[in-house]
Structure 1
Amino acid sequence: MSVPGTVVRDGLLEKRSSGLLQLWKKKRCVLTEEGLRLRSCRGGGGGGGGDAPSSAWSSKAKELLFERMDTVDCVEYKRGLVYFTVVMATGQEIDFRCPQDGTPWNAEIALALVRFKNLQALQASRKRHLHAAHLGSTGEDEEL
């Protein structure tokens, strides 16, 4: 499985587990034009950070695609960390946290999501416009 699209950001992010204890677990994350990919940081060889793409995106990688995402919500700043929630179209909420320094992940994800949704809206609008123009054509354009 290869990383699709252009990589917007690559690094570490903490995700709250959905289990009973709801522990914070570090994840290796890659933000692309299509969504966010998460992989567990367990078992990786410490020094290099796992630069090999084949090891980075095994079948265990979780993919949060923008087409299935609704919004990035619930931003809270506490003790140098930014807490935020990604809300999926199904209503599922996934909690994350990251350091406050630099550009926080929530801002990057929200901007990439807006770009994706805008592009989808433009494509849908163009499709409707072309379809309407084709249906409404009277043949007058052919004389020109």
Structure 2
Amino acid sequence: MRSSGEVLREGELEKRSDSLFQVWKKKRGVLTTDRLKLFPTGLGARPKELRFHSIPKVDCVERTGKYVYFTIVTTDHKEIDFRCAGGSHWNASITLALLDFQNRRALQDFRSLRERTAAAAAAAAAAEQEPEEAGATGQS
């Protein structure tokens, strides 16, 4: 099993800006098991982090001659557009890492639910036995 924060991939991809002209800006992407970090080209600038817990899907994959275009959709319905070189497969890497994260989270949720259900059943069984034991000791 991969450890949280393990680097899966690094390289260049481009993000479309939110500005009026929507220019493509080169970023150094670092994909880990739980997020995508985007480092600007300037020195000393802080990276933008897209954490997988706030990303339900990677959408709108389109291939052109030179680029693959894709969109990351966030839980607040924001769409962030990216493009990468056709053979780099960034969209597939991000999608697979996101699915792996979602599967691990679903397993954790299931195990947690199962543990809570077992604890509640044990508490109910213990509560049922208490009155019986109190009645048995009161008769002596």
Question: Under TM normalisation by the shorter chain, which class is it?
Answer: 0.7 to 0.9
Relative contact order, CA 8 A, sep 6+: which one is greater? 1
Q: Which residue of 2 aligns with 1:12?
A: 12
AA aligned to 1:38 is L
Aligned residue pairs total 121
With normalisation by structure 1, the TM-score equals 0.80
Q: Which runs of 5+ in 2 are unaligned?
A: 127-140
Q: Which residue of 2 aligns with 1:88?
A: 74
Q: Which residue of 2 aligns with 1:35?
A: 35
Q: Which residue of 2 aligns with 1:62?
A: 48
Query: In 2, distance between residues paired with 1:38 and 1:119?
Result: 23
With normalisation by structure 2, the TM-score equals 0.82
Query: In 1, distance between residues paired with 2:31 and 2:95?
Result: 11
Equivalent of 1:77 in 20, 38, 63: 63
Please state how far the C-alpha of 1:101 moved relative to its aligned partner.
1.2
Q: Larger Cα Rg: Structure 1 or Structure 2?
A: 2
Q: Could you list the per-position Cα deviations for residues 60-88 of structure 1 after superposition, in whole angstroms to 9, with x for gaps in the alignment?
A: 21000000111000000012210000000
Q: Which runs of 5+ in 1 are unaligned?
A: 44-54, 140-144
AA aligned to 1:17 is S
AA aligned to 2:97 is A
AA aligned to 2:115 is L
Q: Could you list the per-position Cα deviations for residues 38-72 of structure 1 after superposition, in whole angstroms to 9, with x for gaps in the alignment?
A: 011135xxxxxxxxxxx6xx5x2100000011100
Q: Which residue of 1 aligns with 2:98?
A: 113
Please state if 1:132 is matched with 2:117.
yes
